[in-house]
Amino acid sequence: MSDVSNGLPPGAENISRGGFNLHAGPIWRLADEGAVRRFALPVGEKHMNGSGSVHGGLLMTFADISMSQTSRAVSGAAGCSTVSLTCDFVGPAKLGEILECRVRVTRLTRTMVFLSADIGVGERPVAVATGLWKIV
């Protein structure tokens, strides 16, 4: 499934099927770039804070969904649970911009996945995150 109407590249796949993922999203998976898994979120009215920037909770949600999806993919497990997530808020993002989350695997063990991610708009950094997932 692809959608170019909201500025996403052809081939973008909607990965928000229900629950909070869809309520907060939708979130799209883009083509990998080498070992980097990429996700996109077009910023809408509902994602904003009162100061005209994207809400921090939405940025952490986007990181969590992108990193959880990556954990499942690289571990092959049916599910992975977020154990910890640390996020630094580096700069603002505005209505109508397309956020991109780029996820890297730091280490995969038998039971855990260590990940890092950066969220940006084009070359402009918006947030960076690291986290730990338990394979369940």
Partner 1 sequence: MTPAPPPPGFTETRLVDPFELHIGPVFEQGAKGERRFGFRVDERHVNMRGVIHGGMLMTFADAAFGQAAWDACDHANVVTLNMQSQFLAPAKAGDWVEVLPVLTRRTKSLIFLRGDFTVDGLAVFCVSSVWKILGVD
Residues near partner 1, by CB under 8 A: 17-21, 23-24, 45-51, 55-58, 60-62, 64-65, 68, 79, 81-89
Smallest separation (angstroms) from partner 1 to the CB of 31: 24
Query: Nearest approach, Cβ of 88 to partner 1 (angstroms)?
Result: 5
Residue length of the chain: 136
Please answer whether residues 135 and 112 qualify as being in contact, where contact means their C-beta atoms are separated by less than 8 angstroms: yes
Q: How far is CA 66 from CA 45, 99, 103, 134, in A?
A: 21, 12, 7, 15
Please identify, using beta-carbon distances, which residue of 11 and 79 lies nearer to partner 1.
Answer: 79
Measured from the CB atom, the residue of 67 and 105 that comes closer to partner 1 is 67
DSSP E strands in 63-123: the ranges are 80-89, 98-108, 112-121
Residue whose CB is less far from partner 1, 9 or 21: 21
